[in-house]
Each structure stands twice: as C-alpha cells, then as structure tokens.
Amino acid sequence: MKIDVFMRLGPGFFLLQTGTTLSLFSGHVFRLALAWWCLKETNSAVAFSSLIAFSVAAEVYLKPFLASFGDQFHRIKFIVFCQLAVLTMIILFCLANTAGHFHIIAVTTGLIVMSAVVSVREPTIMGLIPDLVGEGEISRAISSRSAINSVIMLSGPVLAASLISLFSVGVALYVAAVLQGLSCLAFIVLAKKPVPASSALSGESWFSKTKGGFTAIYRVKSEFHIALISSVINFTMFPFFSVTVPFWISTELQLPASYLGAFEFSFALGLLAGSLYLNTAIRELVGRFWNVVSGFVLLGGSVIGIVMAPNIYVSIVLAFFSGLAFIFINVNLSTLRSTATPGHYRTRMSAMAAFLSSLANPFGVVIAGWYIHWLGVTPFAVFSGIAVILVAPVLLWSWHLKKALSLEETEMKGYYEKTYPEAFSERG
C-alpha cells in the first residue's frame, strides 16, 4: 500500500525514496559494523566516542558551508555524486577490514569525509522534493518519507545486528556497500528522468552563495524564528533522548537494555503513526499552525510524564506520544520550508535551518550531564518539558510564523520570495 502512495506521488519521488531507503539501510548496517570493528580493535570507549564526536561535529558544522553546492548544481546529479562518494568510502573500509588494517586516524578521516558529504546531501534531497511532486502534495510526500524512515529506524538496527552476529563485521560492511550501490543505481535512473531538478547557476563565488544562505534565513523571519525555537528544543531534547533516558533506565531504574529497546520501539511507532495518519487528521481538524502548537505541548507533557510515571510501562507508552509530537512539529515545518522557499535557495535554507537548530546540541549534552550529576534526572526532565511547553506562547507571539503556517499548502508556493524579497538574490 505504501508503494502505491509513492507511485501516486510520481515515479520521480518513488525513485528518490527508493534510493534514500536503500542508503539509510546501508547507513545503519555500516555504522553498527564500524562500531563493532572499532571497539574490537581498540577496546576503548574513549577512542570510539572521540571518533563519533569528530564525525558528528563534521556533519553539523560543515553543513552551512557546503550547502551552496546543492543549490548551484543539478540537484539529482549532485546527489548521485554524493552517493558515489559515500559508496567509495564504504568500499575502502571493506578493503581495509578484509586486509586486517585498522588505523584510528584513517578511520576518523574517512568518517569525516562521509559526514561532510552527508551534510550537504540531506538538505539537497529535501530541496529536490518540490521538483518531483505535484503542487499541494509536498506535505504528503514528507509524511510518506517520515513513515518509511520510521520503519527503517525499527528494522535497520535489527538487520545490522543480525548480519554481524550471524556472519561477521566484514560481511556486514560488504552488505552495506551493496545496498549503497543499489541506492546509487536508483538515483542514476532518476537522473535520466525529465524532471526540473536544475538550480539557477550563476557566477557568484562560494563565499557569496554561503553568505546568501545565512542572510536568507535571517531575513525570512518565520524561518529565523523556527531556527531559534528549534535550537532551544534540541538543546534540551537531544540530551534527553540520547543521554538522560539511557542513564535513567540503566542506572536509576537498574533495568536491562530490553526496556530501552522497548522505549525506542514505542517512540518509533509514534513516528510511524503520526506519519501515516494522525498528523494529517489533526492538521485537517485544527489547521497546520495549531497542529504544530499541539506538537510542542504534547512533547513537553510527554517528557515530564516519562520520568514522573509510576512505572516504566507508562513511560514506554508516553514515548509513543513523544514520537507523535515530533511528527506534528517536523512534517509541518519542513513542508513550509520546502514549499515557500525559492528553488535556487532550498538546499541552503534547509542546511542553515538544520545547522542553527543543532548548533547547541554538543553543549546541551555536556550541561545535561552535569545537571543530572548534581540534581538528578527528574529535575532535568521537568525543566526540559517545561521549556518545550513554553514554546507554544512564543509561537503565538510570532506573527510571521503564525501567518505562514496558517496558509494552505498551495498558497505557500513562492510565499517567502513574495513576502521577503530582500532575502533572496535573483542570481542565487
């Protein structure tokens, strides 16, 4: 049934999602295999965490400085180049593993290169969606992507763990390479389709284009407000789900890892349910703006309830509502950004928004660790939940954001260029 949905959105979008799905599966298998290989070779959590830290930092902080390439070149061909670059790196890791060579500096360098490629590939894909689907279908396309990504979140780690346990790290790495290769083929076929995926080329320098991205998101007040709000949310929510919940379940509750798995499974089910039906139903009932507001209130309330619940089973149920809330927020905001932004700025706008919203994540993790150490999990979770809930009145205060989110999807097309013409250079 989900394949039928993709086909109704057009063969171009079907190929895009096929390539993305294969690449995501490849990424899950590759990351787990690499983690297993690294820990086996170094037997050091410090070395492994440092390797991951460099990789994540590269993906976050290089994003705004590479985004202009996604707007400068033919988007589909540029994505093909990115996919081939990732495939090349995976093959090199496969050969190194087969030869029995492991060098932490070489591995770290390879991961940084892959992260740099991914940092520009993902916003380019988001910028491509409006070129592939019909007018008024962007929200449905993004919801469909979220649904598939939720399924991959559930099944990807299982596939990776099964390959490593039944076969070996080497086999898992080669499977990742095969999946990535198939992803490349899907995008190559897409590149041969007659879709308007070209961006406006100009003779402007890389510096001018990068500066234009920063200028655009600052002058488009609704996007700037979204970025500021998202940075506050990620500052609290990123450490809550990546640090606080695992620490709380394993250390304070002293429960086995299976409960953490159940928690993450419930969260992914919330993402899936929201993507498939509930987000659309709520949006049609109350409108896009109030759908987003309800998402922030639901997320904040769920976070508080998770640590205040009388038992872990209630907390696991509340994880479902947390995932649901994320969909209420992300799908609607992504639809606005993809639809309202001019085509020659889409990649940069997506990249700048992602950069600003995740800029404080590393600091949030450090502060959360100290906060939990001195005051405990419950005060931190309550503080985080209240911070998220307080975003709701901020949304009401932002006239720019309220007006933009109150538009119908067909009215959003070209909205930013008409409302904030000074934010966009005609040349790109």
Residue (of 129, 104, 368) closest to 248 by Cα position: 368
Same domain, 156 and 243: no
C-alpha to C-alpha distance for 344 and 359, rounded to whole angstroms:
24
Q: Is residue 410 assigned to a domain?
A: yes
C-alpha to C-alpha distance for 271 and 323, rounded to whole angstroms:
5
Same domain, 178 and 306: no
Q: What is the pLDDT of residue 277?
A: 87
- What are the distances in angstroms from CA 413 to CA 136, 141, 215? 9, 15, 20
Q: What secondary structure letter does DSSP report for 255?
A: -
Same domain, 186 and 291: no
C-alpha to C-alpha distance for 71 and 81, rounded to whole angstroms:
14
- State the residue range of the domain holding 87: 1-193
C-alpha to C-alpha distance for 24 and 21, rounded to whole angstroms:
5
Same domain, 375 and 338: yes
Same domain, 177 and 311: no
Same domain, 249 and 121: no
Q: What is the pLDDT of residue 235?
A: 86
C-alpha to C-alpha distance for 204 and 71, rounded to whole angstroms:
12
Q: How many domains does the chain have?
A: 2
Same domain, 169 and 216: no
Same domain, 410 and 326: yes
Task: Note whether 174 and 94 are within 8 A (CB).
Answer: yes
C-alpha to C-alpha distance for 304 and 296, rounded to whole angstroms:
12
Same domain, 272 and 335: yes
Q: Is residue 423 assigned to a domain?
A: yes
Q: Is residue 206 assigned to a domain?
A: no
Q: What is the pLDDT of residue 1?
A: 45
Task: Note whether 179 and 33 are within 8 A (CB).
Answer: no
Q: What is the pLDDT of residue 46?
A: 63
* pTM for the whole structure: 0.78
Tokens of 334: 């992504």
Q: Is residue 365 assigned to a domain?
A: yes
Please give the helix or strand (H or E) that residue 61 lies within, else none.
helix 45-66
- What are the distances in angstroms from CA 20 to CA 26, 68, 79, 184? 10, 21, 10, 9
Same domain, 151 and 217: no
Per-residue tens of pLDDT for the chain, all 428 residues: 445 555 567 788 899 999 999 999 999 899 888 888 887 888 765 676 677 778 878 888 888 888 888 778 888 999 999 999 999 999 999 999 999 999 988 998 999 999 999 988 988 888 888 888 877 788 888 888 888 887 887 788 778 878 888 888 899 999 999 999 999 999 999 998 776 554 554 566 777 888 888 888 999 988 998 888 888 888 888 888 877 888 888 778 888 877 887 888 899 899 989 988 899 999 999 999 999 999 999 999 999 999 999 899 999 999 999 999 999 998 899 889 888 988 888 888 888 888 888 887 777 777 877 877 788 888 988 999 999 999 888 888 888 889 999 998 888 988 998 999 888 875 55
Q: Is residue 153 assigned to a domain?
A: yes
Q: What is the pLDDT of residue 31?
A: 86
Same domain, 140 and 260: no
Q: Is residue 228 assigned to a domain?
A: yes
Same domain, 135 and 245: no
Residue (of 337, 338, 345, 339) closest to 427 by Cα position: 345
Q: What is the pLDDT of residue 201?
A: 47
Neighbour-count burial of 258, counting CB atoms closer than 10 A to its CB (0-12 exposed, 13-18 middle, 19+ buried): exposed
Q: Is residue 201 assigned to a domain?
A: no
Residue 359's CATH number: 1.20.1250.20
Q: Is residue 188 assigned to a domain?
A: yes
